[in-house]
């Protein structure tokens, strides 16, 4: 039995700014068939959390309080019937769920991956959505060693993950970011360029033989126009932001408001990304940039920082 009798979860019942979020007292979760209960030790704060809260990423109407957070890490405190891969006390990264801004959460066993030695709970909570998105995008674009990949929005969590997956395959990467973030991108072995007028010329200087693939994680008109100017083959241009516009342009789009659901192969890549990234973290071949750490009670402040474009991954600590 848990020493806790009640759980606390961050929820919202109406769309709006960070102030619509509130803490709800909920019963202690229990584990059903194929499920585990996790005591959350760290929750990753993602841009999608704010987009859904504001209603800029539409969801069905809110019928009951909507729980927040897709990524987290914690310790397994209860095993449901039929769980085979996990044991009580295992440290796990959790993804592909909803409600990680909480003290305890029930998750399907397949949404929990054991955290290897040497990887912190904060790192494990930071990878989920960004690593899954980036790995699937890099696979969908079929990035290989001979590629020269241009990433728009390289310093965000998805951008940084995509840089690392591409570099790990031997591809060369040019990434757009504001100058303050250029040192971080150099550290990840990307060639940084600043946004703004003259972007095409700056990219051409770094890639005299041309760009062979583009991943847009910025979504600006500049990013899209630059991509079309630099690469004729639109099947090798993908966006994770401008999904609604992508079909009209004839480019790939994944999530990000895309009218097309992900294929089973794309879903499989997203799932594979988590244990793979944990392994890369453990062996020093992947790193995450942790930004502000806040106690769970400061969830409103976390979303204010998110809305203000705070650099690095914001982590809530229950």
Same-domain pairing of 87 and 156: no
Identify whether the C-beta of residue 273 lies closer than 8 Å to the C-beta of residue 296.
Answer: no
pTM of the model: 0.95
Distance CA 69, CA 9 (A): 10
Q: How many CA atoms lie within 13 A of 177 on its CB side?
A: 25
| Model pLDDT, residue 255 | 80
pLDDT tens per residue across span 33-64 = 999 999 999 999 999 999 999 999 889 999 99
Same-domain pairing of 191 and 240: yes
Domain membership of residue 196 (yes or no) is yes
Same-domain pairing of 86 and 149: no
CATH classification at residue 140: 3.40.50.720
Same-domain pairing of 143 and 254: yes
Same-domain pairing of 143 and 248: yes
pLDDT tens per residue across span 139-169 = 999 999 999 999 999 999 999 999 999 999 9
Same-domain pairing of 110 and 134: no
| Model pLDDT, residue 1 | 47
Domain membership of residue 301 (yes or no) is yes
Identify whether the C-beta of residue 108 lies closer than 8 Å to the C-beta of residue 95.
Answer: no
Domain membership of residue 195 (yes or no) is yes
Domain membership of residue 278 (yes or no) is no
Per-residue pLDDT, averaged over 265-269, amounts to 97
| Model pLDDT, residue 2 | 53
pLDDT higher than 90, residue 278: yes
Identify whether the C-beta of residue 185 lies closer than 8 Å to the C-beta of residue 154.
Answer: yes
DSSP state of 102: B
How is 161-219 classified by DSSP, letter by letter?
A: HHHHHHHHTT-EEEEE--GGGHHHHHHTT-EEE--STTHHHHHHHH-TT---EEEESS-
Same-domain pairing of 170 and 230: yes
Same-domain pairing of 90 and 165: no
Domain membership of residue 163 (yes or no) is yes
Same-domain pairing of 149 and 242: yes
Domain membership of residue 277 (yes or no) is no
Paired strand residues for 266: none
Domain membership of residue 136 (yes or no) is yes
Mean pLDDT for all residues in the chain: 96
Q: Residue 191: phi, psi to the nearest 5?
A: -100, 110
| Model pLDDT, residue 257 | 78
Residue 257's alpha-carbon distances to 57, 67, 75, in angstroms, are 7, 20, 33
Parent domain of 146:
130-264
Same-domain pairing of 110 and 139: no
The H-assigned helical ranges of the chain are 47-54, 121-140, 157-168, 182-187, 199-206, 221-230, 246-249, 264-282, 299-307
pLDDT higher than 80, residue 202: yes
pLDDT higher than 70, residue 3: no
CATH classification at residue 17: 3.90.180.10
Confidence bin at 192 (pLDDT 50/70/90): very high
Same-domain pairing of 42 and 105: yes
Identify whether the C-beta of residue 173 lies closer than 8 Å to the C-beta of residue 163.
Answer: yes
Give the total number of structural domains in the chain: 2
Domain membership of residue 1 (yes or no) is no
Tell which residue, 110, 41, 18, 19, has the closest CA to residue 317.
Answer: 41
Same-domain pairing of 102 and 136: no
**What is the percent of the chain where pLDDT is above 90?**
94
């Amino acid at each position: 039995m848990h020493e806790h009798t009640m759980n606390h979860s961050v929820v919202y019942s109406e769309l709006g700014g960070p102030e619509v979020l509130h803490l709800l007292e909920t019963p202690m979760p229990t584990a059903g068939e194929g499920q585990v209960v996790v005591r959350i030790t760290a929750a990753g704060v993602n841009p999608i959390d704010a987009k859904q809260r504001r209603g800029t990423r539409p969801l069905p109407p809110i019928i009951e309080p909507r729980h927040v957070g897709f990524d987290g890490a914690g310790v397994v405190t209860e095993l449901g019937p039929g769980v085979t891969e996990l044991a009580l006390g295992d440290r796990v990264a959790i993804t592909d769920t909803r409600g990680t801004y909480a003290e305890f959460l029930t998750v399907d066993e397949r949404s929990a991956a054991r955290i290897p030695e040497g990887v912190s709970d904060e790192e494990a909570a930071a990878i989920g959505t960004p690593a899954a998105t980036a790995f699937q995008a890099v696979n969908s674009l079929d990035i290989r060693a001979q590629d020269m990949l241009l990433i728009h929005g390289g310093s965000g969590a998805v951008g940084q993950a995509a840089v690392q997956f591409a570099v790990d395959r031997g591809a060369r990467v040019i990434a757009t970011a504001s100058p303050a973030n250029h040192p971080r991108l150099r550290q990840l072995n990307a060639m940084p360029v600043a946004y703004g007028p003259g972007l095409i010329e700056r990219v051409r200087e770094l890639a005299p033989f041309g760009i062979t693939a583009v991943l847009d994680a910025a979504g600006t008109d500049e990013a899209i126009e630059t991509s079309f100017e630099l690469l004729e083959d639109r099947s090798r241009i993908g966006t994770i932001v401008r999904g609604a516009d992508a079909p009209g342009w004839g480019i790939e789009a994944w999530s990000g408001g895309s009218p097309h659901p992900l294929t089973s192969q794309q879903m499989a890549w997203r799932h594979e990304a988590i244990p793979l990234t944990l392994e890369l973290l453990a062996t020093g071949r992947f790193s995450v940039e942790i930004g502000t750490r806040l106690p769970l009670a400061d969830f409103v402040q976390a979303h204010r920082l998110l809305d203000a474009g705070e650099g690095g991954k914001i982590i809530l600590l229950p």
